[in-house]
Structure 1
Amino acid sequence: MKSKLLCLSLLLAASCSAQADRLSDIQESGVLRVGTTGDYKPFSSFDGKNYSGYDIDVAKHVANQLGVKLELVKTSWKNLIPDLNADKYDIAMGGITRKMQRQLNAEQTQGYMTFGKCFLVAKGTAEKFNTLDKVNGEKIRVGINVGGTNEIFANNNLEKAIFTRYENNLDVPQAVAEGKVDVMVTETPEALYYQATDKRLEAVRCDNPFTKSQFGYLIPKGEQELLNTMNFIMDEMKLKGIDDTLMKQNSLR
């Protein structure tokens, strides 16, 4: 009996040691690697030299809480999870929608903001594009970023429209402002941000979006300790009002 118990204990110990422990790796290396697209204001923006945005500020706060340095890694929407699974970074951050497909391939933190799909259009044209039926027309030009949930929404709801697909999400609002496309499929925080910062643009349906979702952060599958720690930090940010302060700094409040 003792022999069987010993074997069982050894097997359990081996199993535990074989499990991933990304949090310990981060602490040992002294570096937190955060993957971000850098093309989704006001959450993550890259100007060629520096990153800025709400989730960049949150990433800095998380690194500070862990007592490590922050390393920001450029990725794209279509490679968000493949790069995470390829160990190019420890966490993906930057206006990432929580959804089932991502849950099946990664861990998702708790949500930190509720939002919905809406449109961004040229100033004064909101009435022309305030319903799906009005935008889902053969002559309507719709701009979408490749690889994200905006593209999925457009494919499912605006199949009659003319699509222009952009690799860099920052190019889409500019295309609307310059009259290259009529409508940008976007989300409430981004639409309101561009409406406030560019007089040429107007947000549509932000008070009554077409969908409801939440933003969260992505962590490699099975990394429960890191997931628990991120959720704890997010709880503390909410409790102490840190999240609200950072949102105000990034025009989200």
Structure 2
Amino acid sequence: MKTLRARRLVPLAAVAAAVLVLAACSGPAADETSNELDTLSPGTLRIGATGDAKPYAYTENGELKGFDVEIAREVAKRLGLEPEFVAQEFSALLPAVANGQLDMAAASISDTEKRRETVDFSDHYFIGYISVLAATSSGITDDVSSLAGKRLGLVQGTIQDEYAQANFAGAELVRFPDNNSAIAALNSGTIDAHFLDFPVAEDYAEQSGGKTAIAINVPVPDFPVGFGLPKGNEKLASAVNGALADIIADGTWLEIDMAYFPDQPVPAQFQPTT
């Protein structure tokens, strides 16, 4: 089993209502809940996700895949709803939920007090790491002070953005709309490093042929991941939370997790109980 390629772990100091009437539903919770949920379209759960954050949510051969996608798809199934995925930039996801354009956002979104000002969150379904992926020629090491004077890329509106502002004072922060554009800048030498989720950083590092490597890993237990949900839609939130609890309890969560994160430890709260 591989281990996290961690150097130094830095402690982290993130509608329209419609009555659903379904003629036929699938999933164990469907008969009780699906005709009562306030989703944008009857019978459908409209879910926003990014398309460039492998293994969380990414597009491959024209198909949206990933850990968050599969968990969200399983939630929809258990609610007797058809998942309708909409790929968007990360910074647009929660505003789209708040403005009534999405029923739910699924993109490894950390639950923070600031974000709860505009949306609600489901119960948590993931805890992970965020990482600085640096060009091997940049001189960036596991010492945070090595970021001083370096151009550090990050995706606007992410936990990385918030964390870097508070903890990487010496770095010049360069914001991008998505990971792909930031990695292109890293590969071209426009920036010295990019700050992103660990599994995504690991994937990009493996593709770089030794030109980049993970320099710093930051654990994020204080900002666990949940689905972004419309404010005040208690029916939908309760149903999503019930589905998540069942997915964790019966081992489905663990099965999906092992498919995408085979080398990461599983926190106790996500272990099966049935």
The TM-score range, normalised by the shorter chain, is: 0.7 to 0.9
Using a 3 Å threshold, how does the CA distance of structure 1 residues 174 and 244 change in structure 2: closer, same or farther?
Answer: farther
* Alignment correspondent of 1:187: 197
CA contact (8 A) 1:34 1:70 kept: yes
Instruction: Render the CA deviation track for 1:154-177: whole Å, top value 9, x for unaligned.
Output: 233334323332112223234334
Instruction: Render the CA deviation track for 1:68-88: whole Å, top value 9, x for unaligned.
Output: 211112333322222112211
Using a 3 Å threshold, how does the CA distance of structure 1 residues 103 and 20 change in structure 2: closer, same or farther?
Answer: farther
> Which is further off, 159-168 or 66-75?
159-168
**Amino acid paired to 1:90:** D
More helix by proportion, 1 or 2?
A: 1
How does the TM-score come out when normalised to structure 1? 0.78
Map 1:175-214; keep pairs closer than 5 Å.
175-196=185-206, 198-200=208-210, 201-206=212-217, 209=218, 211-212=220-221, 213-214=223-224
CA contact (8 A) 1:124 1:202 kept: no
Q: Secondary structure at the match of 2:170?
A: coil
> Which is further off, 150-159 or 103-112?
150-159
d(CA) in 2 for partners of 1:198, 1:247: 25
Unmatched segments (≥5 aa) in structure 2? 1-16, 21-35, 264-274
Rg larger for: 1
* Alignment correspondent of 1:105: 118
d(CA) in 1 for partners of 2:261, 2:184: 19
State which of 159, 169, 173 in structure 2 corresponds to 1:163. 173
* Alignment correspondent of 1:131: 143
**Equivalent residues, number:** 230
Map 1:42-191; keep pairs closer than 5 Å.
42-46=55-59, 49-123=62-136, 128-135=140-147, 137-138=148-149, 140-191=150-201
Using a 3 Å threshold, how does the CA distance of structure 1 residues 239 and 186 change in structure 2: closer, same or farther?
Answer: same
Displacement of 1:205 after TM fit?
A: 3.2
> Sequence identity of aligned pairs in percent?
22
Instruction: Render the CA deviation track for 1:127-169: whole Å, top value 9, x for unaligned.
Output: 733122111x22x121111222222222333343233321122
CA contact (8 A) 1:27 1:68 kept: no
